[in-house]
Amino acid sequence: MTSINNLEATDIINKAIASGQTALSEYDAKRFLLHFGVPISRETVAHSADSAAIEAKRIGFPVVLKACGANLFHKTELGGIALNLSAAEHVRTEGERLLKIKGCEALLVQEMVIGERELVCGMTRDELFGPCVMFGLGGIFTELIEDVVFRIAPLTLDDAREMITEIRTQKITDSFRGQPAIDVDLLSKILVALGQIALQYEQVHQIDINPLKIRPDGKPAAVDALVVLKGSESDSEKHLAEPKRLVSSFSTAKEDLAPFFEPNSVAIVGASAVSGKPGHEVIRNIQANGYTGKIFLVNPKGGEILGLPVHPSIESLPERADLAIIILPAKICVQALSDCAAKGIRHVVISAGGFAEVDDSGARTQQKLIEVINEYDLRVLGPNTSGHISTPHNFTSSFFPLDKIQRGKVSYIAQTGNFATHTMKHILTAEHFGVARVIGLGNAIDINESTALEYLAEDPETDAVIIYLESFKQPERFLETARKVTRKKPIVMLKSGTTEAGKRAAVAHTASMAGEDRIVDGMLRQAGIVRIRDYTHLILAGKALSMVPLPQGNRVSFLAPSGAMLVVLTDLCIRLGLEVPALEPHSLQRIQEISPPFIRMRNPVDIWGAASTQGVEFAYREGMEAVLADSNIDAVVPVLMLTKETALPSFDFIVELAQKYPEKPIFVTFSGEKQYADECKAYLEPRGIATFPEIEQPFEVLSILARCRRFMER
Amino acid sequence: MTSINNLEATDIINKAIASGQTALSEYDAKRFLLHFGVPISRETVAHSADSAAIEAKRIGFPVVLKACGANLFHKTELGGIALNLSAAEHVRTEGERLLKIKGCEALLVQEMVIGERELVCGMTRDELFGPCVMFGLGGIFTELIEDVVFRIAPLTLDDAREMITEIRTQKITDSFRGQPAIDVDLLSKILVALGQIALQYEQVHQIDINPLKIRPDGKPAAVDALVVLKGSESDSEKHLAEPKRLVSSFSTAKEDLAPFFEPNSVAIVGASAVSGKPGHEVIRNIQANGYTGKIFLVNPKGGEILGLPVHPSIESLPERADLAIIILPAKICVQALSDCAAKGIRHVVISAGGFAEVDDSGARTQQKLIEVINEYDLRVLGPNTSGHISTPHNFTSSFFPLDKIQRGKVSYIAQTGNFATHTMKHILTAEHFGVARVIGLGNAIDINESTALEYLAEDPETDAVIIYLESFKQPERFLETARKVTRKKPIVMLKSGTTEAGKRAAVAHTASMAGEDRIVDGMLRQAGIVRIRDYTHLILAGKALSMVPLPQGNRVSFLAPSGAMLVVLTDLCIRLGLEVPALEPHSLQRIQEISPPFIRMRNPVDIWGAASTQGVEFAYREGMEAVLADSNIDAVVPVLMLTKETALPSFDFIVELAQKYPEKPIFVTFSGEKQYADECKAYLEPRGIATFPEIEQPFEVLSILARCRRFMER
């Protein structure tokens, strides 16, 4: 076991490729990995049974003997492994047997690594996400137990450390059956190294280390290793190009998107006089929002619409505009886009659907749009988008009737149009919060999730970002930006469409386990983005981020008028990773004071006794203040009991408490009559207090916010 | 390996106990298990290293040698196991070494069972749930992977088969790495046998079979086994008595609870003239519900309350009453209960808190109540209950102002009072559905979850049962009843308070993994009860069961006005175990007809195109009818787009469709303006159509109903 240098590592790869190998032999794979700090089992190659026996004695019994050959895979199935040989005589017998296996060119003589714990790690190249590193529970049950996590290369040491804590069976890293804890530092370095290899050696297509055994002293050792070389999986290149071709070649440069959000003039191409038509409603929306820039309308029919003159063509506009909104059928969008370019308009929203999302003909039209974008260096939002919103500039390109849109400090990036249509209506009317920027990406041929996030990263109007995405266009670029953004602005993402992709058929463990959902999961953790699964949570998280600061941590107090709710909600907190800590003595004393003496008070707070003896308002006010003042508590959830019979409280005390404790979110929910819950919501939300109709929701949202905080502070 | 009869099995146990053993030796444990059909490894006992070598030759190499002794546990840690010995000489050497281990009385010579798959099974006795059988993934990682499930003994063969399909790594039973599928029939019989042993042999305290190895032919073999004998865990008896003591001795007999639900006369002991006091509000509630029986009021002050004369004592009542409601402080409840008994009143509700739920003094008072119950053979609901409701009889004992309670066909059993107080208010005002019976168990010293369920099982007014429970009083009895009920009436249960109980420290795997939550999980599956985790889901499931029939299966169609929603909700369906199947050609054709041609329609239905070209009402009506008529579909969820600008539909068409397709649930949810969603809900729910404010909820509830259906049909 001699150390080898970088040149030698490269040499191993080059020689194998030169001789037409699709993978390194196990021996070469390990020598290669050793160079990057991956500890391996003591082993050597022997070319005869006799010399294997001599080498075995040198290594020390018991040993493992493996058939070795450049094109010998599936050793186990071929009977090409002899374990636990404890005498030279056995090594000779087994060695002779192995050498007769077809493809066996030599014998690998290996120490029999002792250790019960088997891990797995590896690297695979995803066609969209690029090289990914895997870590998990290994051994022959790897695919059965499926306890693996992924990260996108390159990994920081912190990424690697987090991976190790993320597997379900994380306890395996602690001391186990009398053996010490695993050397997590060394393990982390191995994971980082796998990512580095991926970036340094394009020729290395996949790596599997399975098992990575843990020796009795807690040190890992690669007992088996597979290094697959490029070109060995014929389909890998075929897939690679496709998604890229649908993206403008300029989208990789950081561009100024300001004209979309702060246009001094806008041209509406396809303006319509007919109420209800998109080309009409977009004008109404712009006017309703109090946009103060110039509005140019274009329609060959000419005339006047909503008090504005209509120009017959783009060419005939009196001046260039900062932004054009093209609301025309798909087929004539290409010409309109060229006309915009000719007029000097470089920023364009294309609303029409009917492109690549529909059929091949649409895809070809879309390709033509990309060609125009590339030719004239344009910035395009869409096609197939219902538009965007920029409340600080009183502007929108949405063609769905929205009236005046409330201004707020949360921005949305959405692959779907409905965040600028009926979902926006829901947000405005049901949840009482406003937005800063909304960007409907549509088919994202130019502006995509990455460019949009880069803009919002620097946008002083945006304090937090909510994202709905079905697919990434530029995941690596997105990751790079998001990593930085999430240290200052929380990002919450709903990534959908992930349950359909099943596992892939592949020789290597790492590749077979690399489902899109797992990779996205790892990437979003790496990026510091909180991933959620429910549509409703995206809206509610938006509301929370609009109305309250991020809590300092995950420590919750709640007050409920029912023992059952206290128990159920405590269960829920534990499931959600929220703590329900003990209170400080003085706050405990206070809540005990307001309660009948026979109820022994604690956190969570059983407010029934106080409410029924001292009145609902007094009980909640005093109880909430006690826990808000407690330094063990980061956020407070009152489950307000609202029934006519128990006397309805005024809700001002909640507003006052929120002002007095501005750093601690107060999330209100209800038990009792719906009418009063609705009234309370209608009173509190415009005053900046978030309420939630279902009693689980405040906790679900607090869990999201606490995760945002954790990412921000790491 | 000779077969032994039942007497021999008993003999093994008796001899071990007689000689003071706390567990059987491994050899005896296996001989014992073999009698019940558990296949074991070929093995024999040898008393010297030499005879071990001879036996090894007879069994066939390689063999395993184990130190054997009546009090020799932790063999692994003591180095008492020698694996994979392939020659007589090794057996002799190792045998001599093992015999020197302290406590080693003999050598167990065992075939080295080949097989990669390791399972675990066992039996443990829970202090509350009695004997439980465990099954899961075995080997040294059993506790790390925690992939185990439980059932309560006795198990049916179907119970056992279901257990095997429930583990996460269920694929292990299929063919694996070239080896055939596991003999699941034999495996099931082993699990059944473990339950039978528990019932047949009180002396057997715990059983562990770990690993249960799977031979290359798919047959299981117990490779190691532990049979712990009773008395070996000193704390087991201490715990056993405590919960039982708090239950009336009569509660184990099936009793007629009719006087609680159909009383012809009721005495209110502690009637109060003061509005707002429980003793006053209960009278108001009874009057408000239109109760037609006699009402007797008792208060030493006498006089008249709410138009009814007040009697000074129970004794002075003009006649006995069918039911008494005692609303007095805890301390004087014992006397009042005795007075009721003396008057011949055998059915009593005790409302007061301040008993065992508070402190030791309260527990002593509670114990006195139990003594009175036992002495006079009374039936008591409570104490510490806010009462019960029986709408078919226009009756309630709730002291929380409720007004007239809507009648329905779903009944509730709740350990908490709030289902008869503010949660009832919420149900009535927010969810627009009524109830048949509500039973607040309180401290359940007599009527408990089991007696209550037995009543509801036979109750013609109850079509479905919803249960909130924190702890079981008589789980075995409950299981026996529920198993039968769920074939006719769906039961949905929220069992809380289960996250706090950590794992127990125990020698045996089975005991260490037997957390209350896992046992409850297994028991509820066995009972055919759908377990849920969220309070909100309990209410919504109640609404759904009130308004719609159980769907025939789990096949859903939904219509939404947004591609994003279609994708997110499809993800959700897959997570929830719902299918979103392809439509039949004629229904597919119909939804294609109503849509713009460039949208390729399928299930789920993208209704945006049809709605924006043909109008919202037409699109939803035609789209819903197409999928309702489809024989691939069991339930339909329209996500109604409600905004003023897109024209609001009349909602009658939904009522008409529900009448036309009565066997298929229609669950309505919304996107758009809150005001219209509220109006739609207010219109549809009184007409029997369930609506849900959050778009995930219809699917979450359908998943609950589909599970009810599956349990009903098994």
- Taking only the tens place, the pLDDT of each residue in B329-368 is 999 999 999 999 999 999 999 999 889 888 889 999 999 9
The neighbouring-strand residues paired with A480 are: none
pLDDT in tens, B215-239: 999 999 999 999 999 865 444 444 4
| In the predicted structure, residue A236 carries a pLDDT above the cut 60 | no
- Spatial contact of A287 and A316, defined as CB atoms under 8 Å apart: no
Does residue A90 surpass a pLDDT of 70?
yes
- The pLDDT of residue B302 is 94
Report the 10 Å Cβ neighbour count for A405: 24
Nearest to A39 by CA among A178, A294, A288, A222: A222
Q: What is the mean pLDDT of residues B133-144?
A: 93
**3-state secondary structure (DSSP) of residue B666:** strand
Residue A243 has pLDDT above 60, yes or no: no
d(CA B357, CA B364) in angstroms, rounded, equals: 11
Strand partners, A45: A108
Per the prediction, chain A carries an average pLDDT of 91
Which of B75, B114, B141 to mutate to probe the A interface, most A CBs <10 Å? B141
CA dist list (Å): B616 to A385, B28, B621, B650: 21, 75, 8, 10
Angle at CA of residue B330, ends B326 and B333, nearest 5°: 45
Q: What are phi and psi of B712, to 5 degrees?
A: -65, -30
CB contact under 8 A, A535 and B564: yes
Give first-to-last CA distance, chain A, whole Å: 39
* Interchain pair A671, B418: CB under 8 A: yes
Which position has the higher pLDDT, B505 or A476?
A476
For A621-646, how does the pLDDT look when each residue is reduced to its tens digit (9 = 90+)?
A: 999 999 999 999 999 999 999 988 77
A562–B693 CB contact, under 8 Å: no
C-alpha dist (Å) from residue B43 to A15, B24, B120: 53, 16, 20
pLDDT for B151 beyond 90:
yes
- Rounded to 10 degrees, what is the CA torsion of B175, B181, B184, B190? -100
CA distance A115 to A223: 11
In the sheet where B691-692 sits, what is the strand order? B605-606, B556-560, B635-642, B668-672, B691-692
Name which of A439, A531, A540, A571 to mutate to probe chain B: the one with the most chain B Cβ atoms within 10 A of its Cβ.
A571
Quick: pLDDT tens for B577-617: 999 999 999 999 999 999 988 788 999 999 999 998 999 99
| Residue in A144, A208, A223 with CA at minimum distance from that of residue B145 | A144
Q: B255: pLDDT confidence band, cut at 50, 70 and 90? A: low
Query: What pLDDT, on the 0 to 100 scale, is given for residue A230?
Result: 86
Comparing CB atoms, the residue among B169, B497, B673 nearest residue A429 is B673
- Nearest residue in chain B measured CA to CA from A403: B645
Of the ranges A264-278, A694-708, B44-58, B409-423, which one carries the lowest mean pLDDT score? B409-423
Contacts of B180 (CB under 8 A, 6+ apart): B217, B218
Would you place residue A248 in the very low, low, confident or very high pLDDT band (cuts 50, 70, 90)?
A: low
The pLDDT of residue B137 is 96
In three state form, how does the secondary structure of B332-397 look? HHHHHHHHHHHHCCCEEEECCCCCCCCCHHHHHHHHHHHHHHHHHCCEEECCCCCCEEEHHHCEEC
Q: Residue B499: which pLDDT band, with cuts at 50, 70 and 90?
A: low
Running DSSP on this structure, what letter comes out for residue A442?
Answer: T
pLDDT at A506: 55
Residue A244 has pLDDT above 50, yes or no: no
Q: What is the pLDDT of residue A599?
A: 81
Q: Mean per-residue pLDDT for B672-690?
A: 94
pLDDT tier at A597, thresholds 50, 70, 90? confident
Q: Is residue B256 pLDDT above 60, yes or no?
A: yes
Q: Which pLDDT band, with edges at 50, 70 and 90, does A485 fall under? A: very high
**Stated pTM of the model:** 0.93
Please judge whether A563 and B497 are an interchain contact, meaning their C-beta atoms are less than 8 angstroms apart: no
Please report the number of interchain residue pairs, chain A to chain B, with beta-carbon separation below 8 angstroms. 190
Could B140 and A116 be called an inter-chain contact, meaning their C-beta atoms sit closer than 8 Å? yes
- Where do we find the tokens 């014929």? A234
Residue A401's pLDDT is 87
CA distance A253 to chain B (A): 28
The residue in chain A having the minimum alpha-carbon distance to the alpha carbon of residue B580 is: A500
Domains and their CATH numbers in chain B: 42-112 (3.30.1490.20), 117-240 (3.30.470.20), 249-545 (3.40.50.261), 549-713 (3.40.50.261)
Chain A residues close to B178, C-beta within 8 Å: 77
What is d(CA A321, CA A311) in angstroms, rounded to the nearest whole number? 13
Nearest alpha-carbon partner for A357 in A470, A468, A474, A238: A470
Write down the pLDDT at residue B236: 44
Task: Take residue B196 and report the two structure tokens written for it.
Answer: 């039978």
Q: Is the Cβ pair B401, A645 closer than 8 Å? A: yes
pLDDT in tens, A96-129: 999 999 889 999 999 999 999 999 999 999 999 9
> For chain B, what is the mean pLDDT?
91
| In the predicted structure, residue B490 carries a pLDDT above the cut 50 | yes
Structural tokens at position B346: 């055998």
Residue A411, pLDDT > 90, answer yes
Confidence of residue B513 (pLDDT cuts 50, 70, 90): confident
Q: Which of A421, A423, A567 sits opposite B496 (nearest CB)?
A: A567
Nearest to B587 by CA among B652, B632, B654, B635: B632
The pLDDT score that the predictor gives to residue A507 is 60
- Give the integer Cα–Cα distance in Å for A195 and B302: 86
Q: In B, which residues are within 8 Å of A77 by CB distance?
A: 178
Residue with tokens 């009236």: A403
Instruction: State the nearest Cα–Cα gap between A201 and chain B, in angstroms.
Output: 32
Q: Is the Cβ–Cβ distance between A696 and A536 less than 8 Å?
A: no
From the list A261, A265, A255, the residue with the least C-alpha distance to A446 is: A255
pLDDT band per the 50, 70, 90 thresholds, residue A412: very high
Average pLDDT over every residue of B295-303: 97
Would you say residue B4 has pLDDT above 60? no
Contact of A690 with A667, CB cutoff 8 Å: yes
The two three-digit tokens of residue B333, written as one number:
């409840």
The more confident residue out of B60 and A498 is B60
* pLDDT given for residue B10 in this prediction: 95
A116, A353, A564 ranked by CB distance to B415: nearest: A564
- The pLDDT assigned to B17 comes to 93
Say yes or no for a CB contact (<8 Å) between B498 and A140: no
The answer to whether A434 and A391 are in contact (CB under 8 A) is yes
pLDDT of residue B208: 96
Q: Smallest CA–CA separation between B419 and chain A, in Å?
A: 10
Residue-level pLDDT at B506: 55
Tokens 């079905």: give the residue. A470
Lowest mean pLDDT across A250-254, A545-549, B262-266, B299-303? A250-254
Of residues A504 and B472, more confidently modeled: B472
Residue A497: its chain B contacts at CB < 8 A?
Answer: 567, 571
pLDDT > 70? residue B662: yes
Confidence class for position A5, pLDDT limits 50, 70, 90: low
Quick one: average pLDDT of B396-409?
93
